[in-house]
A and B are shown apart, each in its own frame.
Chain A
Amino acid sequence: MNRILSQAQKELAQFSRDRLTVALALILPLGILLIYGYAIRLETKNIPLAVQDFDNSPLSRTYVERLFATNQFIPTPLAGTSPLSALDRGTAKATVVIPPTFSRDVAEGSSTVQVLVDGTDVNNARVIQNSIRGVTNFFIQSLPNISRPQGVIPRIRIWFNPGRQESLYIVPGIFGVVLWVFPSMLAAISVVREKEQGTAIQVYASDLSSTEWLLGKGIAYWLVAVAEALGVMLVSFLLFGIRLKTGPVPLLLGTGIYLAAAVSFGLFIGARTGNQNGAVQGTAIAGFLTSFLLSGFIYRLENIPFPLSLLSNLVPARYYIVLTRDAFVRGTGWPGVWYVPIVVGLIGFLLFKVASKILQRMQLLD
């Protein structure tokens, strides 16, 4: 135990002497938090909408007013005579074409308004379609002498995030990405550096076992990772208004285990690769791609198609993001996340075992 701790101490001393890695460890996670936290928003507000009103009657103008009263659309000129020209130029995301017979048709009970939507951004195309339909419905209900049909009225309540703030969805997800990529990268570099500089041979020749060696490194980088986690969460608390919604125990325990798993992943990559570039690229590409794309960070996990969805089951970030979203948004606590520390811990343990197996083979026996 003592040997492990002194190994950890040595590792921390070495870490703090290398300016570049210290900067990497502390600045990069915050930089990524800021960029992702501010720049990833899926739903567009202020959608530029052009209207071609052939009717130009009081009724059609009321309809147009309703459209812009939602604060979701901002009026944009048509840029030509064709309803398509503004869309082709990209100055409008949708064009509403009101037919010349609009008010007459409405009085007679049926009219059709054409809505042309730029389908390039698939998600916002859906948002636009939905809100124009919603506005149209409100408009119909406000029409005089309309017999309101008896039917089903859904009373929709949005739970956990009633204002539908996207930052509450994105920011806890960033924790999953950042706290995986950087701890693992640092750990991987530290293993490989010893290999490159030849100090690993001294360790192989000493009576320090590979498990002890890796544990010492692991503890050191786990502590660095904890500092990163605290920094990232503190900044999110201050800038993005992220607050704990439940008792802190699941988050603390889960984060501790997640960081340990991330460090183990780094040790594993470090044990596998021979040079620093390979280590950095391995953790950057494998860690980043999987925790960014296969974790449900941006879009729903269920949307990942079949062969990839199997792979996503092995991505610890996917479980940890469930836990952070629970801690900061949902607030259910253990009943919703009990399995997260178990699965993540298991993956981390396996990675560590494999890493120490690989290094054991290098060990010189006496």
Chain B
Amino acid sequence: MPLIRRLLESRFWALMLKEIRQILKNRQLIFLLTFPPTVQLLIFGLALSPDVDHLSLGVADYANSAKSREFISALVENEVFKVSSYQTNQVALGRQVRVGNLTAGLVIPPTFDRDLNEGRSAEVQVFVDGVDANTAGIASGYLNQIANQYTRRLNPQLTSPPVETQTRFLYNPGLTSSWFFVPGVIGLVLTLTGSLVSSVTMIREKDVGTLEQLLMTPAAGWEILLAKVAPLFILLMGDVLLASAMGRFVFQLPFRGNFLLFFVLSGLYVFVSIGIGILLATLSRTRQQVVLTSFFFNVPIIQLSGAIAPIESMPPFFKFLSWFDPLRHYVAISRSLILKGAAVDALIPNIAVLFGFAAILMLISISRFRSQLN
């Protein structure tokens, strides 16, 4: 085993042991590696939910008949709406919606029964709070569908409509919102933690002044850098396991693809995030500056990645920018592997881009590291 012996006797090994010892002594680093990722995954995974259900509906029922009550119960049947107040008149109902206590108001006219009994269509008025544009759109879609179903129920002679759509949701049949967000948030957490932890360890040597000493040793720039990166890499892979375990057991993600592939590609992304961190550290002098400049990097990286808001809805310019966002490619990989169970060949473009990013970031940081030498 001459290779191993050579490794164990090498300068690189000694440097790495020094880094590992330093990390293990650094309580704050261990904290940064465990606590924020857990909290971020939990809060992002639980709090982000675009569900449209139990919308508070106010009713002003001027008909007040069996038929009108039947219509109201049809509205609340599938739990999209819940009736949270009955008003005696339209004005009071409108006021409740204006003030923001109700998401929607329904006005059933006094002629409701008469119209239906005499074979006319009865019009009901619905006002929807449009401040939340997205919810308002989905809610009005549901309202139309429910009214249609109710119409069908009133006319038993109509068996079924001439065209019926049968919708199947693939990959996430229950439309569980955490299934959409958590695979993306794993990437977000790796970005934040990886860049923070690596920039903090780099900058500390600068702060304390030991970086000059290290640079003066016979070790080459890449050796110092690699010795710093390798233990961080291993620790961050622990974060990947932590995040996957939380995804599996807290959020019940299906992990349909090959887990080993997911793990390896996450490792590739961890390299990218470490690269971002080193770049941040070479750009700034103090730790405070690192955290501030990380805002400039991390906010756009996260926002353009599609982890939180879908890329498809962005305006063209931002859609274009997102191609240059490494996190976008990792989120695509993570979602495909966790939800779709995709095979490697579908992911090749994304993997290639991540490789490119990892290589470029590493090259930049090595060269900037060297320039500090002079």
Q: How far is the CB of A116 from chain B (nearest CB, A)?
A: 5
**Interface contact B136-A164, CB-CB below 8 Å:** yes
Q: Does A325 sit within 8 A of B, measured CB to CB? A: yes
Chain A 276-312 per-residue mask, 1 if CB under 8 angstroms from chain B, else 0: 1100110011000100011000111011110010001
**Interface contact B134-A129, CB-CB below 8 Å:** no
**Interface contact A41-B313, CB-CB below 8 Å:** yes
Question: Which residues between 318 and 374 of chain B lie within 8 Å of chain A, taking CB atoms?
Answer: 318, 332, 335-336, 339-340, 342, 346
Find B144's partner among A137, A285, A325 (CB 8 Å cutoff): A137
* Bound: A285/B167 CA distance, A: 41
Contacts of B91 in A (CB 8 A): none
Question: Which residues between 275 and 308 of chain B lie within 8 Å of chain A, taking CB atoms?
Answer: 287-289, 291-292, 295-296, 299-300, 303-304, 308
Q: Does B255 sit within 8 A of A, measured CB to CB? A: no
* Bound: A111/B162 CA distance, A: 6
Find A38's partner among B49, B128, B318 (CB 8 Å cutoff): B318
Chain B 77-106 per-residue mask, 1 if CB under 8 angstroms from chain A, else 0: 000000000000000000101111000000
Task: State which of A8-16, A154-162, A256-264, A353-361 sits at the interface with chain B.
Answer: A154-162
Contacts of B140 in A (CB 8 A): 156, 158
**Interface contact A126-B126, CB-CB below 8 Å:** no
Question: Which residues between 37 and 89 of chain B lie within 8 Å of chain A, taking CB atoms?
Answer: 39-40, 43-44, 46-52, 54, 71
Contact size range, B: 35 or more
**Interface contact A114-B166, CB-CB below 8 Å:** yes
Instruction: Give the A-B pair count, Cβ closer than 8 A.
Output: 324
Q: Which residue of A lies closest to B108 (CB)?
A: A152
**Interface contact A116-B170, CB-CB below 8 Å:** yes
Contacts of A106 in B (CB 8 A): 162-163
Task: State which of A203-211, A222-230, A328-336, A342-350 sits at the interface with chain B.
Answer: A328-336
When A84-B170, A110-B162, A113-B166 are in contact, do A124 and B312 touch as well, CB less than 8 Å? yes
Interface size on A, residues (CB 8 A): 103
* Bound: A293/B41 CA distance, A: 12
* Bound: A146/B40 CA distance, A: 55
**Interface contact A299-B312, CB-CB below 8 Å:** no
Q: Does A169 sit within 8 A of B, measured CB to CB? A: yes
Q: Which residue of A lies closest to B54 (CB)?
A: A302
Contacts of B48 in A (CB 8 A): 293, 298-299
Contacts of B342 in A (CB 8 A): 88
Q: Which residue of A lies closest to B313 (CB)?
A: A41
* Bound: A168/B134 CA distance, A: 11
**Interface contact A28-B295, CB-CB below 8 Å:** yes
Q: Does A87 sit within 8 A of B, measured CB to CB? A: yes
Contacts of A217 in B (CB 8 A): none
Task: State which of A43-51, A233-241, A247-255, A265-273 sits at the interface with chain B.
Answer: A43-51
Q: Does B148 sit within 8 A of A, measured CB to CB? A: yes
Q: Does B27 sit within 8 A of A, measured CB to CB? A: no
Chain B 125-148 per-residue mask, 1 if CB under 8 angstroms from chain A, else 0: 111111111111110111111011
Q: Does B122 sit within 8 A of A, measured CB to CB? A: yes
Q: How far is the CB of B270 from chain A (nearest CB, A)?
A: 20
Contacts of B339 in A (CB 8 A): 120
Q: Does A200 sit within 8 A of B, measured CB to CB? A: no
The 3 closest A-B pairs by CB, nearest first: A151-B151, A130-B141, A119-B169
A sample of 7 cross-chain residue pairs with beta-carbon separation below 8 angstroms, ordered by A number, consists of A105-B162, A115-B168, A121-B310, A124-B310, A150-B154, A152-B71, A157-B127
Besides the contacts A112-B163, A125-B175, A322-B100, what 6 more A-B pairs have beta carbons closer than 8 Å?
A: A109-B160, A114-B166, A123-B134, A150-B154, A154-B125, A162-B130
